[in-house]
């Protein structure tokens, strides 16, 4: 099942208006605080030699970090506008960026037929998906992994929702980097923890490793501390 036109246009609108400057987007934290930490957890479980696919790559900040460390990295995103940012920032041409709906069966099957089994990195995509698109997204990951691949999936936990609500309702109004997310109709932290586990199981995937690690943002609170959101990480493989 592909995403709805409303959801697709929400992301196109968001990325068309997003600045190019590093860190201007709420979740666009530097890789040392994001993918770098995740890779330390993921790499011991990765299948060596497989391409790496960054699902929901956005402007490609984390994808370029991965491309410095693996021979072949693909960044895929639903939004053409996001990929415009990503390609513009990838001056060295390290990454193969492609517009692709990871919840559309035919598209993930086609990519798998082209590149074979892959390792997948996905940060913060499932929790803002429309309800009907969540299971197809996990099914798409299963298709891309095949028999040998592994996936690192990190998502906001249900404990992040009250944190986000508090930020939106603060006396000064929503933080400037968070406001555009909601303004474009993108609703983060919509998935409870048990539902994530159910989607994983229904996709025929097994959890190889799991833990908790705050998802670091580029926003700061009034007292100058960086905003971090509770999150869970999972390493997945075919069951």
Each residue of 100-159: pLDDT tens digit? 999 999 999 999 999 999 999 999 999 989 999 999 999 999 999 999 999 999 999 989
Query: What's residue 168's pLDDT?
Result: 83
Report the predicted TM-score, pTM, of the whole model to 2 decimal places: 0.95
Q: Is residue 222 very low, low, confident or very high in pLDDT (cuts 50, 70, 90)? A: confident
**In angstroms, rounded to a whole number, what is the distance separating the alpha carbons of residues 57 and 237?**
21
pLDDT category of residue 201 using cuts at 50, 70 and 90: very high
* Distance set, CA 75 to CA 20, 121, 158, 214 (Å): 17, 10, 27, 23
8 Å CB contact between 141 and 153: yes
pLDDT tens track for 39-49: 999 999 999 99
- The stretches of the chain forming alpha helices (DSSP H) are 5-17, 35-42, 61-67, 80-89, 105-115, 131-145, 160-168, 179-183, 193-202
């Amino acid at each position: 099942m592909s995403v709805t036109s409303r959801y697709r246009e929400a992301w196109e609108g968001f990325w068309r208006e997003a600045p190019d400057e590093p860190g201007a987007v709420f979740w666009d934290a530097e890789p040392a605080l994001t993918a770098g930490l995740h890779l330390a957890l993921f790499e011991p479980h990765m299948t060596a030699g497989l391409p790496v696919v960054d699902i929901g790559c956005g402007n490609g900040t984390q994808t370029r970090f991965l491309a410095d460390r693996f021979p072949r990295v693909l960044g895929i995103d639903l939004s053409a506008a996001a990929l415009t940012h990503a390609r513009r920032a990838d001056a060295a041409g390290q990454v193969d960026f492609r517009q692709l709906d990871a919840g559309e069966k035919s598209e993930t099957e086609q990519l798998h037929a082209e590149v074979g089994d892959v390792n997948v990195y996905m940060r913060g995509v499932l929790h803002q998906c429309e309800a009907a698109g969540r299971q197809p997204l996990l099914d798409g990951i299963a298709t891309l992994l095949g028999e040998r691949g592994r996936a690192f999936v990190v998502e906001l936990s249900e404990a992040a929702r009250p944190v986000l609500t508090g930020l939106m309702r603060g006396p000064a109004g929503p933080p400037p980097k968070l406001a555009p997310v909601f303004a474009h109709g993108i609703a983060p932290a919509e998935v409870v923890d048990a539902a994530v586990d159910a989607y994983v199981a229904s996709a025929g995937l097994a959890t190889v490793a799991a833990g908790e690690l705050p998802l670091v943002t580029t926003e700061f609170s009034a007292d100058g501390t960086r905003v971090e959101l509770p999150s869970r990480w999972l390493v997945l493989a075919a069951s």
